[in-house]
């Protein structure tokens, strides 16, 4: 069955443009309620958890989803603004049949979307997404009045999640004496991350903790770390931590203001676990992971496997390999021995644990991995594009690969969340990589426009 609405990470788009509209969300809530209610493990009236980030449109979609769910006979528990991984956690601990997150992650406030978690706190299987789409084609019918669901709010959700995050590090772990800058992107971690770090003893200087519904990810957060770099240098912090709008991504900034990306963070965590005798046979990256990460992981004596881009595919590959650690360059880091999905706060604590255990700085720990020059250019597109079978694009890629020889890579990938084709070139010479990527992006754009 071809999916009309679900992408690689739920449903996402511009607010007010179908399907990101109140009427569709009402129908979506009803369709989800119908599917979730007939899961084999459901006993009695099922409950669905709803959390959201700080976008102004979240209020509108929360109400619409809530109405649809209760119309299908499902109870609802509202968390309010909470990080995506917190919704996954609460779905499990509240014995809910599913969790829903209203968020467009790192996108600007004009966008919004819906993510789903199963009762186990994992991404929904494809079969369940297809079942929801099938229900969307049916007329909405409200259950009898005595079966309409009820809605409650979970008042202590933030406190529960803060305690969970702190419990992912050893009891003796302390951040006392460290000044840490944290950027919450005016998003869902604004009332969580600073408290986690301060309760573990750190002196916290905060940025992006005043959401107004419109400023999420605007010049702050993991997609724009310039302000955090400046704060780190000005405040004298030992490092900075940047989360994205819904808290499932994290990037670091070193004391000199330089960015430390998801590849480097994965290397640091994997190396630390190896030295503690806790490493698996290998770790999972993606097609976009830097070649330097692969070489560094292999130098540790570990295996490195690439998955398709998208945290759900990273998790699937981790399960296939039987490993507990995987990540994307963008900062989606999954520690499956600690939680069920990518969690920016949990991952950041693992990096801080590596720093504290080793007695070395972030800069010293990242030095074990040498990144290969990599350039990526986003080419805007209209609608979905099919790159395979496009003769002009295939020819451009072959010519670029020929110039790189066996010391580089080329990757073209349509974004699963934005109307873009990502053009990536990687090699040993930064100047060559940059010029080849620019030329290839121009040819891809021209080919798609013709």
Say if strands 325-327 and 333-335 run parallel, antiparallel, or are unpaired: antiparallel
Contact (Cβ atoms closer than 8 angstroms) between residue 62 and residue 79: no
Strand partners, 76: 48, 151
How many of the other CB atoms lie within 10 Å of CB of 79? Answer: 27
Rounded distance between C-alpha atoms, residue 219 and residue 224, angstroms: 6
Positive or negative CA dihedral for 3, 149, 81, 42? negative
Contact (Cβ atoms closer than 8 angstroms) between residue 248 and residue 311: yes
Rounded distance between C-alpha atoms, residue 162 and residue 159, angstroms: 5
Rounded distance between C-alpha atoms, residue 7 and residue 269, angstroms: 30
Q: Show which residues are catalytic.
A: 105
Residue (of 230, 268, 255) closest to 352 by Cα position? 268
H or E stretch at 355:
helix 344-358
Contacts of 323 (CB under 8 A, 6+ apart): 280, 281, 282, 283, 284, 336
Rounded distance between C-alpha atoms, residue 10 and residue 263, angstroms: 24
Rounded distance between C-alpha atoms, residue 369 and residue 386, angstroms: 35
CA-based radius of gyration for the chain: 22
First and final C-alpha spacing in the chain: 30
Rounded distance between C-alpha atoms, residue 224 and residue 165, angstroms: 25
């Amino acid at each position: 069955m071809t999916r009309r609405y679900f992408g690689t990470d739920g449903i996402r788009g511009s607010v007010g443009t179908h399907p990101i509209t109140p009427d569709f969300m009402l129908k979506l809530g009803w369709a989800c309620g119908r599917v979730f209610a007939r899961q084999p493990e459901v006993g009695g009236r099922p409950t669905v958890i709803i959390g959201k980030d700080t976008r102004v449109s979240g209020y509108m979609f929360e109400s619409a989803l809530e109405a649809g769910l209760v119309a299908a006979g499902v109870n609802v528990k509202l968390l309010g603004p909470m990080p995506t991984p917190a919704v996954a956690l609460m779905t499990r601990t509240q014995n809910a049949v599913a969790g829903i997150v209203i968020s467009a992650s790192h996108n600007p406030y004009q966008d919004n979307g819906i993510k789903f978690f199963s009762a186990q706190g994992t991404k929904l299987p494809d079969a369940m997404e297809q079942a929801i789409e099938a229900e969307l084609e049916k007329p909405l019918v409200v259950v009898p009045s005595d079966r309409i669901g009820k809605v409650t709010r979970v008042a202590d959700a933030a406190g529960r999640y803060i305690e969970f995050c702190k419990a992912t590090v050893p009891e003796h772990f302390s951040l006392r004496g460290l000044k840490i800058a944290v950027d919450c992107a005016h998003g869902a971690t604004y009332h969580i991350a600073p408290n986690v770090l301060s309760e573990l003893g750190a002196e916290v200087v905060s940025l992006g903790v005043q959401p107004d519904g419109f400023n999420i990810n605007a010049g702050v957060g993991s997609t724009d770390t310039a302000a955090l770099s400046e704060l780190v240098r000005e405040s004298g912090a030992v490092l900075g931590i940047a989360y994205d709008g819904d808290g499932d991504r994290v990037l670091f900034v070193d004391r000199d203001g330089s960015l430390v990306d998801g590849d480097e963070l994965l290397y640091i965590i994997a190396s630390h676990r190896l030295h503690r005798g806790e490493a698996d046979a290998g770790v999972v990256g993606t097609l976009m992971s830097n070649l330097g990460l692969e070489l560094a992981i292999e130098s540790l004596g570990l295996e490195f496997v690439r998955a398709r881009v998208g945290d759900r595919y990273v998790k699937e590959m981790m399960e296939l390999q039987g490993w507990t650690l995987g990540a994307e360059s963008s900062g989606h880091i999954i520690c499956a021995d600690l939680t069920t999905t990518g969690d920016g706060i949990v991952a950041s604590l693992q990096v801080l644990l590596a720093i504290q255990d080793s007695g070395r700085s972030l800069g010293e720990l990242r030095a074990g991995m040498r990144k290969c020059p990599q350039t990526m250019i986003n080419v805007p597109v209209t609608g979905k594009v099919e790159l395979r079978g496009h003769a002009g694009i295939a020819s451009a890629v072959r010519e670029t690969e020929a110039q790189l020889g066996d010391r580089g890579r080329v990757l073209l990938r349509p974004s699963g969340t934005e109307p873009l084709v990502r053009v990536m070139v990687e090699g040993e010479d930064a100047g060559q990589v940059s010029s080849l990527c620019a030329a290839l992006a121009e040819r891809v754009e021209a080919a798609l426009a013709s």
